[in-house]
């Protein structure tokens, strides 16, 4: 029976993730199911403890239809989670009186994990009360702050490369800031603020065209624009089959636009040496330090599929138009 059930689960696709490993747990004598979590509340800039006496599969629906069923409490990070916090949450959530203290203690343990592991979420669902009135964390989800992984090499070793998006994995390996989105216009810029603005402008421009083209990614190459960085960025973007056009939006500051233009030219050559080619149209907008010289360099290079547009709005519109055609 174990083999039969394992065969049915292994290889299963769950929300885009393939099951490669199986965790086996003995069956529990369940009397009650609760939900417990410690999550980082970014709006309050504090950890938040959450508890509900209605745990299980439909906890999100419960929280939406009956907000009173989910009790929440912010924790001052300088003071930490105290015993009375756990008792108060358990009492407010309507937890059975005989398990208020052990459930509160369990919340304290979750907070310890949250703090020690640099987590953004420690969630237990369901938190069981057995027939013997024991408190058991049956299933859990833990999300670790990626920026803190250098402090947790043991956790970093758990990384499942097969579950990651190929483009995001490639960007991580090459030290680039990349986030995959669900659109078809590739975005490459220098500076997180500029790239965020570019996403908005492309999304707005895309509304004019059939299919409403949208940004396919967030990719910030940072202040430097060497040929290798540019080539790596373009390789990551064009490796996404959804991308139908690419918008390179650069504002020359410390790195002048002529250096960026040379980087783009050399990136085409570097990709060709890797037996890869930019086979989607590329719209480039250069502005700022040495922008005119940068434009002349790109014009002289006469790169296939590359167009230059002077304004950010115009370039976004052209990139969206090319993606829609």
CA-based max dimension of the chain:
80
Q: Which of these, 173, 59, 84, 76, lies nearest to 115 by C-alpha position?
A: 76
Is 204 annotated in the active site?
no
DSSP label at 215? B
Tokens of residue 103, six digits:
């459930």
- Judge whether 103 and 36 are in contact, CB under 8 Å: yes
Q: How far is CA 59 from CA 31, 32, 54, 95, 127, in A?
A: 17, 14, 7, 16, 12
Catalytic residue among 117, 123, 178, 235: 123
| DSSP string computed for 164-196 | S-HHHHHHHHTT-EEEE-SSSEEEEESSHHHHH
Q: What are phi and psi of 128, to 5 degrees?
A: -90, 150
Rounded Cα gap, residues 280 and 228, in angstroms = 19
Rounded Cα gap, residues 196 and 181, in angstroms = 13
Catalytic residue among 34, 35, 111, 178: 35
Rounded Cα gap, residues 144 and 39, in angstroms = 11
Is 35 annotated in the active site?
yes
Active site residues: 35, 123
């Amino acid at each position: 029976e174990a083999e039969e059930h394992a065969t049915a689960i292994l290889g299963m696709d769950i929300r885009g993730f393939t099951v490669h490993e199986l965790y086996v747990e003995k069956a529990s004598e369940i009397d009650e199911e609760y939900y417990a979590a410690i999550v980082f509340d970014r709006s309050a800039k504090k950890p938040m403890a959450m508890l509900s006496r209605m745990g299980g599969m439909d906890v999100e629906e419960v929280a939406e239809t009956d907000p009173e069923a989910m009790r929440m409490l912010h924790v001052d990070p300088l003071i930490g989670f105290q015993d009375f916090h756990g008792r108060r949450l358990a009492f407010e959530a309507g937890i059975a009186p005989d398990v208020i203290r052990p459930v509160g203690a369990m919340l304290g343990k979750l907070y310890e994990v949250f703090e020690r592991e640099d987590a953004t979420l420690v969630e237990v669902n369901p938190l069981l009360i057995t027939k013997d009135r024991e408190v058991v964390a049956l299933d859990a989800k833990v999300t670790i702050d990626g920026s803190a992984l250098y402090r947790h090499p043991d956790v970093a070793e758990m990384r499942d490369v097969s579950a990651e998006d190929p483009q995001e994995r490639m960007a991580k390996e090459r030290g680039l800031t990349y986030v995959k989105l669900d659109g078809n216009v590739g975005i490459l810029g220098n500076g997180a603020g500029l790239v965020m603005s570019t996403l908005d402008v492309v999304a707005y421009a895309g509304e004019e065209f059939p299919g409403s083209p949208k940004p396919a990614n967030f990719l910030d190459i940072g202040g430097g624009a060497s040929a290798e960085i540019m080539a790596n960025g373009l390789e990551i973007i064009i490796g996404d089959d959804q991308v139908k056009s690419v918008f390179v939006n650069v504002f020359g500051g410390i790195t002048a636009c002529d250096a960026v233009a040379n980087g783009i030219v050399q990136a085409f050559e570097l990709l060709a040496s890797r037996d890869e080619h930019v086979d989607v149209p590329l719209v480039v907008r250069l502005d700022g330090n040495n922008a005119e010289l940068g434009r002349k360099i790109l014009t002289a290079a006469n790169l296939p599929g590359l167009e230059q547009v002077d304004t950010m709005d115009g370039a976004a519109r052209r990139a969206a138009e090319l993606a829609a055609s």
